[in-house]
Copies of this chain bind each other. A is one copy, B any other.
Amino acid sequence: MSSLKIRIYFEDTDAQGVVYNSNYLKFLERGRTEFLREIGYDQKQLLDNDIIFVVKKVSLDFIKPAELDDIIEVRSKIFGVKNVTFSFYQEVLDSNGLKILTADVKCGCLETNNKKPTKVPTKLLNSMMEKSNGI
């Protein structure tokens, strides 16, 4: 599992006084990006090589709101791997460990040039699975 702490700023809030819904997708991607970085991959390096990851499906469950100045935690792990896709389970927690949001995010692996689906490299997949064990 990977864990990332995020501070909530004015930019993240809206006129209802809480975090605006679309910003959780940003926080979730920050979490997945740090998950990948922790196993040795950064986005720019993947982009410069021949692979990009894209989001295929997302399910979000909004449980309670986050607010200005809060520090939230994004937890990310892989829970499913197929031929050309892989899926993250992610949680956003408040500073007491209470759930703010849960998410299933299915990603696809594409060739950078032609945007065709391609196999996730085996080494990367193995690292993903290893990182997700024992949560």
Q: Contact between B68 and A15 (Cβ–Cβ < 8 Å)?
A: yes
Q: Contact between A69 and B54 (Cβ–Cβ < 8 Å)?
A: no
**Which residue from B23, B26, B44, B52 sits with its C-beta under 8 Å from A67?**
B44
Residue-wise, chain A 46-75 has the 8 Å CB interface mask toward B (1 for contact) of: 010000101111111110010111000000
What size tier do the contact residues of chain A reach? 35 or more
- Nearest B residue to A59, CB-CB: B59
- Separation in Å of the A74 CB from the closest CB of chain B? 12
| Known A-B contacts A10-B29, A43-B68; A62 and B52 likewise in contact (beta carbons under 8 Å) | no
Q: Contact between A56 and B62 (Cβ–Cβ < 8 Å)?
A: yes
**Which residue from B33, B55, B57 sits with its C-beta under 8 Å from A59?**
B57
- Separation in Å of the A69 CB from the closest CB of chain B? 4
Q: Contact between A62 and B57 (Cβ–Cβ < 8 Å)?
A: yes
Q: Contact between A60 and B62 (Cβ–Cβ < 8 Å)?
A: no
From 10 to 56 in chain A, residues with beta carbon under 8 angstroms from any chain B beta carbon are 10-11, 13-18, 20-26, 29-30, 33, 42-45, 47, 52, 54-56
What residues of chain B lie closer than 8 Å to A67, measured between beta carbons? 15, 44
